[in-house]
Amino acid sequence: MLVSTTNDLAGYRVVRHVGLVRGLTVRSRSVIGNFAAGIQSIFGGNITIYTRLAEDARREAYMLMSEHAADMGANAVLAMRYDANDIMEGITEVLAYGTAVVVEPVTR
């Protein structure tokens, strides 16, 4: 699956628009994770527990979006974006979305 944040893909042309695709995951921070992150925050710098949580959530949303596109018959996603919102204290949704298309290489 080719995925791009741009509206086109260099070296390819869009032959069919498939539609909007998305991948959504909802994550919570555990009590133990919050405690460990609190300790890390005392020393400053990168709070690796939250960084790992954010990376895992984005990775899962990305994979779900890619699977959704493949299920719809697409081989690429254009204009891909992420969005994240707190649903309630300690619970966050992460959304990956874009436009699923079928592309083919441009021949010269």
Return the CATH number at 78: 3.30.110.70
Contact 36, 43 (CB under 8 A): no
Is 43 contained in some domain? no
**What type of residue is 58?**
R
Contact 102, 18 (CB under 8 A): yes
**Distance, CA of 60 to CA of 56 (rounded, Å):** 6
Contacts of 65 (CB under 8 A, 6+ apart): 21, 22, 23, 77, 80, 96, 97, 98
Is 15 contained in some domain? yes
pTM of the model: 0.84
Strand 12-28 and strand 91-105: pairing?
antiparallel
% of residues, the chain, pLDDT over 90: 66
What is the total count of domains within the chain? Answer: 1
* pLDDT per residue as tens digits for the range 73-94: 999 999 999 999 988 887 889 9
pLDDT at 43: 63
Residue 8 structural domain: 2-27+57-105
Is 62 contained in some domain? yes
Higher pLDDT, 47 or 25: 25
Higher pLDDT, 28 or 58: 58
